[in-house]
């Protein structure tokens, strides 16, 4: 056997060994996933970590629906179905607290923001409709948002202020024995027209780690279409920010939904229009637009935490998706994700983002860590072999 043939056989042997090692890693991964599934609640279906649960409010029906989507392929796993059908008058803006597994629903006709706990039951993702908690009362909220600390924000368009409810108050509310117990939260006005004219009939709202963004709905938008301010005004003053509230754009008269990704803050304004602006740029101009059809009436939107924006389109009875990253052309093509009747607010829950993504009721959580440790140990052993 010559040297060339020897080298060829050696490369072939190494390739086969690598393929076999990869096959073992894949097999062990699947086995570990099966162990994770077996450690979950015995009642109810397995919770797939790649599943997104997209909630949509339906004001005309007084309901909230959920659709299950594969977060990688964007294929529909389970069609839209109703999860809340009673107890709401005009459900509008939605928000999800991933860590605490809660759904918030703004209901302006009820003058409240309601809170529901998320569960995995025999019918999949669900809420218990008879366990409706009042997260905020004595407001007229149409849009809501939750930050990573669990603090709740809501806009009151009629009285031109942004309400904030501390996460600790919401935790006390959720810890009570039943939704009928007399536990009440207190809100305070984070920003209001009383102290600044830049809060001008606020509409949609979104939050990130440091800032709160909202859209004004007053005709003419003299103070800005999309505004940005510190979520903690005291911290903003401590950093020496002279004007805490900044206009990111002034291009439309009426803003509906607002949603923030790390790179762009998107907002819907008028028929067929979705715009984007850079947070912190303060150039007072929108630079990015999402392309929709002539029948579109965009309302709520949300970032799915993984590179995609979701948009509720009241005109087409549909939810669209488009990339959350910036595009040089300034024009983004949206794709229709699924159909749903009368969508308004939209929120997404990704179990993989939760610290307890394999057990909503915390049942069997003690079995999760050993499974993960075993899986990692086996894979590391194979890689180093």
Q: What is the pLDDT of residue 140?
A: 96
**Tokens of residue 218, six digits:** 């007053």
pLDDT tens string 17-28: 555 555 454 444
Interaxial angle between packed helices 368-384 and 3-38, expressed in degrees from 0 to 180 and rounded to the nearest 10 = 180
Q: What is the pLDDT of residue 196?
A: 86
Q: Tell me the pLDDT band of 330, cut-offs 50, 70 and 90.
A: low
In the predicted structure, residue 329 carries a pLDDT above the cut 70: no
**For 162-169, what is the mean pLDDT?**
95
**Tokens of residue 210, six digits:** 């440091």
Q: How far apart are CA 78 and CA 133, in angstroms?
A: 27
pLDDT tens string 34-46: 444 334 343 444 4
The b-or-e profile of 326-360 (16+ CB within 10 A means b, else e) is: eeeeeebebeebbebebbbbbbbbbbbbbeebbbb
Residue 130's CB is within 10 A of a number of other CB atoms, namely 10
Most confidently predicted of 148-152, 246-250, 328-332: 148-152
Q: What is the pLDDT of residue 244?
A: 79
In the predicted structure, residue 247 carries a pLDDT above the cut 80: yes
pLDDT tens string 65-110: 999 999 888 899 999 999 999 999 999 999 999 999 999 999 999 9
Q: Return mean pLDDT, the chain.
A: 80
Q: What is the pLDDT of residue 159?
A: 95
Q: What is the 3-state secondary structure (H, E, C) of 34-83?
A: HHHHHCCCCCCCCCCCCEEEEEEEEHHHCEEEEEEEECCCCCEEEEEEEE
pTM score, two decimals? 0.79
Q: In sequence order, which ranges of the chain are alpha helices (DSSP H)?
A: 3-38, 167-175, 233-238, 368-384
Q: What is the pLDDT of residue 81?
A: 95
**For 186-205, what is the mean pLDDT?**
92
Higher pLDDT, 50 or 353: 50
**For 258-266, what is the mean pLDDT?**
92
Q: What is the pLDDT of residue 375?
A: 46
The b-or-e profile of 137-169 (16+ CB within 10 A means b, else e) is: eebbbbbbbbbeebbbbbbbbebbbbbbbbbeb
The SS3 call for residue 219 is coil
Higher pLDDT, 358 or 165: 165
Asked if 271 contacts 296 with a C-beta cutoff of 8 angstroms, the reply is: yes
| DSSP, residue by residue, 220-267 | T-TT-SEEEEESSHHHHHHTT-S---EEEE---S----EEE-SS-EEE
pLDDT tens string 275-310: 998 887 665 566 778 888 888 999 999 999 888 999
Q: What is the pLDDT of residue 139?
A: 96
pLDDT tens string 213-237: 999 987 767 888 999 998 887 765 5
**Tokens of residue 337, six digits:** 């994700």
């Amino acid at each position: 056997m010559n040297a060339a043939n020897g080298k060829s056989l050696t490369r072939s042997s190494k390739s086969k060994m690598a393929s076999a090692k990869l096959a073992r890693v894949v097999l062990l991964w699947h086995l570990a996933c099966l162990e994770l599934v077996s450690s979950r609640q015995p009642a109810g279906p397995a919770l797939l970590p790649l599943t997104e649960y997209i909630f949509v409010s339906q004001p005309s029906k007084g309901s909230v629906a959920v659709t299950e989507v594969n977060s990688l392929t964007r294929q529909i796993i389970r069609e839209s179905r109703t999860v809340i059908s009673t107890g709401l008058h005009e459900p509008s803006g939605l928000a999800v607290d991933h860590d605490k597994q809660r759904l918030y629903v703004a209901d302006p006709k009820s003058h409240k923001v309601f809170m529901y706990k998320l569960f995995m039951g025999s019918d999949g993702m669900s809420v218990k409709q008879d366990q409706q908690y009042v997260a905020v009362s004595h407001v007229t909220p149409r849009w809501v948002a939750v930050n990573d600390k669990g603090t709740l924000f809501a806009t009151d368009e009629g009285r031109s202020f942004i309400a904030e409810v501390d996460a600790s108050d919401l935790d006390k509310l959720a810890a009570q024995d039943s939704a009928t117990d007399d536990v009440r939260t207190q809100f305070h006005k984070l920003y209001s027209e009383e102290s600044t004219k830049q809060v001008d009939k606020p509409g949609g709202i979104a939050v990130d780690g440091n800032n709160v963004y909202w859209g004004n709905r007053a005709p003419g938008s003299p103070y800005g279409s999309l505004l940005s301010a510190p979520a903690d005004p005291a911290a903003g003053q401590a950093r020496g920010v002279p004007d805490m509230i900044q206009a990111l754009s002034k291009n439309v008269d009426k803003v509906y939904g607002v949603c923030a990704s790390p790179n762009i803050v998107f907002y819907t304004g008028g028929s067929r229009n979705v715009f984007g602006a850079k947070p912190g740029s303060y150039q007072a101009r929108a630079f990015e637009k999402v392309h929709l059809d002539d029948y579109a009436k965009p309302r709520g939107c949300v970032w799915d935490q993984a590179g995609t924006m979701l948009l509720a389109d009241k005109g087409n009875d549909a939810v669209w998706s488009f990339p959350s990253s910036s595009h040089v052309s300034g024009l983004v093509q949206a794709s229709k994700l699924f159909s749903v009747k009368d969508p308004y607010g939209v929120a997404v829950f990704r179990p993989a983002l939760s610290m307890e993504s394999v057990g909503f009721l915390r049942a069997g959580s003690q079995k999760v860590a050993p499974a993960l440790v075993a899986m990692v140990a086996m894979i590391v052993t194979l890689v180093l072999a």
